[in-house]
Amino acid sequence: MRRLYALVCLLSWGVLAFGLSPYDAGSSQDARAVFASIAPYYDYMDPNLKPWHLKVDYQLHDESGSAAGQGVFEYWWVSPRVYRTTWTRGQSTRSDWYTADGRHLTKNAGPPLSLYDYWLQSALLSPLPTAAELDPAKSILVDHGLALVNSHSRCMMVVPSQVTESVARTLPFGTYPEYCVNKALPLLLGYSVFGGLQVRCVTFTKMQGKSMPRQIYIINGSQQILSARAEPVTPLDATDPALTPPDDATPVTLEKRQISPDKESRLLEKKVAPIYPADAKSEHIEGKVVLETTVGPDGGVEDVRLVSAPSTSLALAAFESVSQWEYKPYRVNGKAVTVKSKVEVDFSLGG
C-alpha cells in the first residue's frame, strides 16, 4: 500500500504541466463528487468529439518478467454508435465493429485473448467506475485519501453494498477496486484490485479536452504483467474502410446474459487449478472465494470481479486461476453472447 501511495504522489508532480483546468479533489469534497467531477474528462463516448484513431503497442510478460508476447490494440471512433476495436497478438486476433444501424459484429482468429488484453482496453477507454457501480444503494466508498493530508493524490475504494460498512472500512487497500486520482488535476493515476494487482497510468496527453493515458502498466505485486505505450491520437475520416465490417464477420448480440454457475461450468473447456498461497496456509486461512466473471463471445474471460473472500491472498489466487479459464461460446438464437456468472473457488486446508 505504501508503495502505491508513493507512486501516485510521485506521478502527481509529473503531470502539473498537463494543461487541463484545475479541479478540486481535496479532502473537503465528497468521494462521489470527486468521481462525478473527473468523469467528463474520461467520457470518450462524448458525441461532441470529432472522429479519432488510437494505436497502442503493448508487451505481455511471463512469471519471470521476460517478454511473453507483443501486441497491438487499435481503436477507431466516429460516434457513440460507430466504432471499432482490434487486438493483434501472436496468432490471436479479434476485431469488433459497432455500426450505425445498431449491430455488433466480430471476427476472431487463433486462441482467445487473455484477460489482460481486455484490461488494457478498459484502462485506456473506461477506467472509472460506472454510474451503476457508484449508486449509493449498490456501493460503499471507503476514502483512504482523507488520512493523507499532505499527499497530492486521493484514493477511494468502491465496495459492493452486500459488504457491511463496518467490514468495508477494515478491508486492506485495494481489496475491491481502489481508484487514485490527482487532487489538483482531473487525472486517474491508477487503480488497484484483489489487494495485489495494480493498473498504473504514468504519462498523459490531452485529446479534445479529455484525459488520455500514454503509458500503462499492469503489475502483480512486484511483477510486471503488461506494459503499453500509446501513439499520439490522430484524426479519423468517418468513411475510413476500417469501420466497415467484412462479409465474414459474425453478428453478436449486444445484450449481456446472466447465466447460472451450473450452466457456465458446462461450457468450461480449460480449467487452471488455483495455487494455495503460502501465507494463507501458514495463517490457517481457508474458505470460499466468490467471483463474478464476464466471458466474451469467443469464450475468453474478459473480466473478473471480487464478490467475497476470506482474505485478499485467497482472492488474488482465485483470480489468477479463473482469469486463465476458457469456455465454449454461449449462443442465443445462433448468435454468440457475452455472459456473466458467478464462480466459486474453494480453498481447504484439508485438501
- From the list 211, 242, 203, the residue with the least C-alpha distance to 97 is 242
At a CB cut-off of 8 Å and minimum separation 6, what does 245 contact? 97, 99, 103, 105, 107
At a CB cut-off of 8 Å and minimum separation 6, what does 43 contact? 210
Give the chain's residues under pLDDT 50.
1-17
Distance, in Å, from the CA atom of 264 to the CA atom of 244, rounded to the nearest integer, reads 33
The answer to whether 64 and 222 are in contact (CB under 8 A) is no
pLDDT computed for residue 64 by the predictor: 72
The answer to whether 183 and 196 are in contact (CB under 8 A) is no
DSSP 22: P
The answer to whether 179 and 200 are in contact (CB under 8 A) is no
The answer to whether 227 and 199 are in contact (CB under 8 A) is no
pLDDT computed for residue 176 by the predictor: 96
Q: Under DSSP, is residue 208 helix (H, G, I), strand (E, B) or coil?
A: coil
How many residues in total does the chain contain? 351
What is the model's pTM? Answer: 0.89
Partners of 16 in the β-ladder: none
Cell 479534445 locates to 208
Q: What is the CA radius of gyration of the chain?
A: 20
The answer to whether 53 and 243 are in contact (CB under 8 A) is no
Residue range 253-347, CATH number:
3.30.2420.10
Distance, in Å, from the CA atom of 172 to the CA atom of 190, rounded to the nearest integer, reads 17
pLDDT computed for residue 351 by the predictor: 64
Cell 462521489 locates to 32
Fold topology of 2-242: outer membrane lipoprotein receptor (LolB), chain A (2.50.20)
Domain limits of the chain? 2-242, 253-347
- From the list 66, 94, 19, the residue with the least C-alpha distance to 329 is 94
pLDDT computed for residue 12 by the predictor: 38
Phi-psi map region of 25: left, alpha, beta (phi>0 left; psi -120 to 50 alpha): alpha
pLDDT computed for residue 1 by the predictor: 37
pLDDT computed for residue 255 by the predictor: 79
pLDDT computed for residue 16 by the predictor: 38
